[in-house]
Amino acid sequence: MAQPRIFISYRRDDAAGYARAVNDALVRRFGADAVFIDVDDIHAGQPFSDVIQSSVGGSDVLLALIGKRWLGEREGAQPRIGDDADFVRREVAAGLANPGMRVVPVLLDGATMPEAAQLPPDLRALAGRNALELDNTRFAADIDRLLREVEEALGEEASAPATRRSFAIRWLAGIALAAAVVAAVVYELRSSLPAAQTGAASSGRVAVNGEWRAQVDYDWPGARYVERFVFAGEGDALHGSASFLGVARGVLEGAVDGAQLRFVTRTSEIGGSAADTAVVHRYRGQLVGDELRFVMQTEGGGSAHVPVEFVARRTAASAPADNR
């Protein structure tokens, strides 16, 4: 791997999910060789400390991702940031000691900048740096600003080279086309079904057809999204869409069995030094009263995930008709 120009510093139990999302966005803009993230760029058998220190020292920009647990508070002991052996401390300190590097604090989901008094001497200069914010409720706008700041720090033109712009345009167009196709399919499914099938059960099928929404807390810090589910079908068939991280995905392998339903959706994860990795999300739900109680398991990708439980509720617009 070539010497990276951008180093992502983060504490795993504080910002692992955001670190992956930021890495993916940077890779799409600047290329995999320009970005360092430990999970992708330290190979088996390599000395962890040496690789990190050499990568920090040769980079132009260090992004310090700061969540609400960045200091590493511990019961009965000083925060981990005060430990000389703490990797987060060593990374940021190395960046601050390099006069040619821009160190950018990135505050996640309402986290505040640590005060100088909370930091060891070699990190206190961080408290005086202008910070960016990254919030899941406005992630697209925040990540766009972060990319512009990094671009400026690297001394690159505001307009990317033609090949990069072409790739970005094709990527965005692909996302837009996929969303449009899903929306069109869902619209056709809903409009082609009798009104009773979009709400009330038909011939023994439980009333799962229609639109549902759920607040989902995924298994990484700060990852709270309002997801939308639109179901259609008859008998034991289930189709439609289910959003993941706010983006609609087509329902695959869907089935309804009594009061239970199951389906999968698919996404891809872009690694820092490898091709896209297929990710499968398996959903199992049960209709209890007016709630769909789900368990979702993510399989594949660069890290293991625990099952996520959440409750979806039908939107008012698609509530079953009152036939009394």
Residue 74 belongs to domain with CATH number: 3.40.50.10140
* CA–CA separation, 245 and 224 (whole Å): 8
Domain identity same for 178 and 258 = yes
141 and 173 part of one domain: no
Q: Can you say whether the dihedral through the CA atoms of 241, 300, 15, 154 is positive or negative? A: negative
Boundary (domain end) residue, out of 137, 158, 179: 158
Which regions of the chain are under pLDDT 70? 1-3, 39-55, 57, 156-204, 269-276, 302, 317-324
Examine residue 172 and state whether it is found in any structural domain, yes or no.
Answer: yes
User: What is the C-alpha to C-alpha distance for residues 109 and 17, in angstroms, rounded to an integer?
Assistant: 12
The verdict on residue 189 lying in a domain is yes
In the chain, the number of structural domains is: 2
pLDDT of residue 320: 60
Domain boundary among 131, 158, 185: 158
Domain-embedded: residue 163: no
pLDDT at site 55: 58
Q: Examine residue 299 and state whether it is found in any structural domain, yes or no.
A: yes
Kindly report the CATH number assigned to the domain that includes residue 238: 2.40.128.120
Ramachandran assignment for 146, one of left (phi > 0), alpha (psi -120 to 50 degrees), beta (any other): alpha
* Whether 174 and 280 share a structural domain: yes
Tell me, yes or no, whether 184 and 294 share the same domain. yes
Residue 323 forms part of a structural domain:
no
Residues 50 and 125 in one domain: yes
Question: Do 136 and 29 fall into the same domain?
Answer: yes
Looking at residue 39, its pLDDT comes to: 47
Distance CA 293, CA 311 (A): 5
Domain check: are 182 and 107 in the same one? Answer: no
Query: Same domain for 230 and 112?
Result: no
- Cβ contacts of 283 within 8 Å, gap of 6 or more: 242, 261, 262, 263, 264, 265, 294, 295, 296
Q: How far apart are CA 142 and CA 120, in angstroms?
A: 29
pLDDT of residue 13: 84
The DSSP bridge pattern shows strands 61-66 and 6-9 to be: parallel
Residues 193 and 254 occupy one common structural domain:
yes
For residue 150, the model assigns a pLDDT of 94
Tell me, yes or no, whether 324 lies in a domain.
no
Residue where a domain terminates, one of 138, 158, 178: 158
Domain annotation covers residue 212: yes
Residue 182: give the domain boundaries: 168-318
Residues 174 and 142 grouped into a single domain: no
DSSP string, 253-319: EEEEETTEEEEEEEEEE--SSS--EEEEEEEEEEEETTEEEEEEEEEESSS----EEEEEEE-GGGP
Q: Report the pLDDT value the prediction gives residue 86, as an integer from 0 to 100.
A: 87
Taking the whole predicted model, whether its pTM rises above 0.75 is answered as no
Same domain, 218 and 173: yes
Residues 91 and 27 in one domain: yes
Helix axis angle, 12-30 to 139-153, nearest 10°: 70
Q: For residue 222, is it within any domain?
A: yes
Q: pLDDT by residue (tens digit) across 218-255? A: 887 778 899 999 999 889 999 999 999 888 888 899 99
